[in-house]
């Protein structure tokens, strides 16, 4: 990737939590650039994936966040004030979480929530906001926008809720979307619909997408580039199409453990810190 095209440049990101008198570092010097592309961050539970997404938006009030660089289009996110972050969060960098229902207000109809967000952002009339909302629902492939407009959050399915959240998130036209396990609660067909929408955003609108997932198969089929995380570190960074040539034993293990039609699959091998040299990241004999 041409570095000058990067929307986001992260160098040596460290995130630590206080544990008594010491600090427990859960993200240990992660670096990456994000262009107008799909970047996957994959790894086992607890490897630090979500922490990276939240650290970028400084949504970790009890953590110590450090980095040599955390640049978003000339803005240093690390030193940005809370006031500046409020103009970035949800407007220029948006986040999609696993369960959209937590992000919607349960007592208001979904259409009214989107229309209100639109009205406030563009200072539009209620009538224009309603019309735009219907168009946005259509854009995220909701077939019957008039009906869905009038539903309450508990009346929509997981997949529809996720699409409604995407519609709402797109109002301020963000440049970066961080999607943290956006499809893990969805069944396969609905998952494809949501992935298609995210894909269109990258291709048609030039958004940079960070897809956080524990599912290597999904990430390598959907993304352009993949960071593989383990114990807070990136152990492998590779073009998704080149994943078969991965060199780290952990990635190789993950890949071998993926199910595929007609083949057997190996259990994920057990690696521990003693068997991997941190400098070379190679298995010792």
Ligand X SMILES: Nc1ncnc2c1ncn2[C@@H]1O[C@H](COP(=O)(O)OP(=O)(O)OP(=O)(O)O)[C@@H](O)[C@H]1O
- Taking the least distance from each CB to ligand X, the nearer of 26 and 164 is 26
Asked if 102 touches ligand X (CB under 6 A), the answer is no
Asked if 208 touches ligand X (CB under 6 A), the answer is no
Least CB distance to ligand X at residue 127 (A):
42
CB count within 10 Å of CB 53 equals: 21
- Taking the least distance from each CB to ligand X, the nearer of 124 and 271 is 271
- Contact between 163 and 197 (Cβ < 8 Å): yes
- Taking the least distance from each CB to ligand X, the nearer of 117 and 219 is 219
Out of 35, 40, 43, 174, the only residue in the binding site for ligand X (CB under 6 A) is 43
Q: Are strands 38-43 and 63-66 parallel, antiparallel or unpaired?
A: unpaired
Of 40-48, 73-81, 134-142, 165-173, the window that binds ligand X (rule: CB under 6 A) is 40-48
Out of 214, 252, 257, 269, the only residue in the binding site for ligand X (CB under 6 A) is 214
Asked if 62 touches ligand X (CB under 6 A), the answer is yes
Our CA dihedral for 46, 50, 52, 58, rounded to 10 degrees, sits at -130
Asked if 26 touches ligand X (CB under 6 A), the answer is yes
Please list the residues that pair with 158 across neighbouring strands: none
Here the tokens at position 191 are 């998952």
CA–CA separation, 14 vs 123, rounded Å? 39
Out of 51, 133, 162, 251, the only residue in the binding site for ligand X (CB under 6 A) is 51
Least CB distance to ligand X at residue 265 (A):
21
Of 44-52, 184-192, 234-242, 274-282, the window that binds ligand X (rule: CB under 6 A) is 44-52
- Contact between 29 and 229 (Cβ < 8 Å): no
CA–CA separation, 170 vs 105, rounded Å? 18
Q: Determine which helix (DSSP H) or strand (DSSP E) holds 55, and give its type and residue range.
A: helix 49-56
- Taking the least distance from each CB to ligand X, the nearer of 50 and 162 is 50
Asked if 47 touches ligand X (CB under 6 A), the answer is yes
Asked if 79 touches ligand X (CB under 6 A), the answer is no
Asked if 45 touches ligand X (CB under 6 A), the answer is yes
Largest interatomic CA distance in the chain: 70
Show contacts with ligand X in window 105-134 (CB under 6 A): none
CA–CA separation, 239 vs 230, rounded Å? 18
Here the tokens at position 154 are 């508990």
Asked if 25 touches ligand X (CB under 6 A), the answer is no
CA–CA separation, 185 vs 188, rounded Å? 10
- Binding-site ranges for ligand X (CB under 6 A): 17, 26, 43, 45-51, 62, 214
């Amino acid at each position: 990737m041409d570095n000058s095209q990067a929307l986001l440049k992260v160098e040596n990101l460290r995130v630590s939590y206080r544990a008594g008198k010491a600090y427990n570092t859960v993200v240990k010097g992660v670096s990456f650039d994000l262009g107008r592309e799909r970047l996957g961050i994959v790894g086992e539970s607890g490897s630090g994936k979500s922490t990276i997404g939240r650290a970028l938006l400084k949504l970790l009030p009890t953590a110590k966040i450090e980095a040599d660089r955390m640049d978003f289009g000339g803005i240093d996110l690390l030193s940005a004030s809370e006031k500046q972050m409020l103009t970035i969060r949800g407007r220029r960098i948006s986040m999609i979480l696993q369960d959209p229902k937590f992000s919607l207000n349960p007592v208001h109809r979904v259409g009214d929530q989107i229309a209100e967000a639109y009205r406030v952002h563009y200072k539009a009339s209620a009538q224009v906001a309603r019309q735009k909302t219907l168009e946005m629902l259509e854009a995220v492939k909701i077939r019957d926008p008039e009906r869905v407009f009038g539903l309450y959050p508990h009346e929509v399915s997981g997949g529809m809720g996720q699409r409604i959240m995407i519609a709402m998130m797109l109002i301020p036209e963000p440049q970066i979307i961080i999607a943290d396990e956006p499809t893990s609660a969805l069944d396969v067909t609905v998952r494809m619909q949501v992935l298609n929408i995210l894909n269109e955003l990258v291709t048609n609108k030039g958004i940079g997408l960070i897809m956080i997932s524990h599912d290597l198969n999904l990430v390598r089929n959907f993304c352009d580039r993949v960071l593989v995380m383990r114990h807070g570190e990136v152990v492998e960074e590779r073009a998704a199409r080149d994943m078969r040539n991965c060199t780290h034993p952990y990635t190789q293990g993950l890949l071998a453990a993926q199910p595929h039609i007609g083949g057997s699959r190996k259990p994920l091998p057990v690696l521990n810190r003693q068997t991997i040299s941190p400098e070379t990241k190679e298995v010792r004999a």
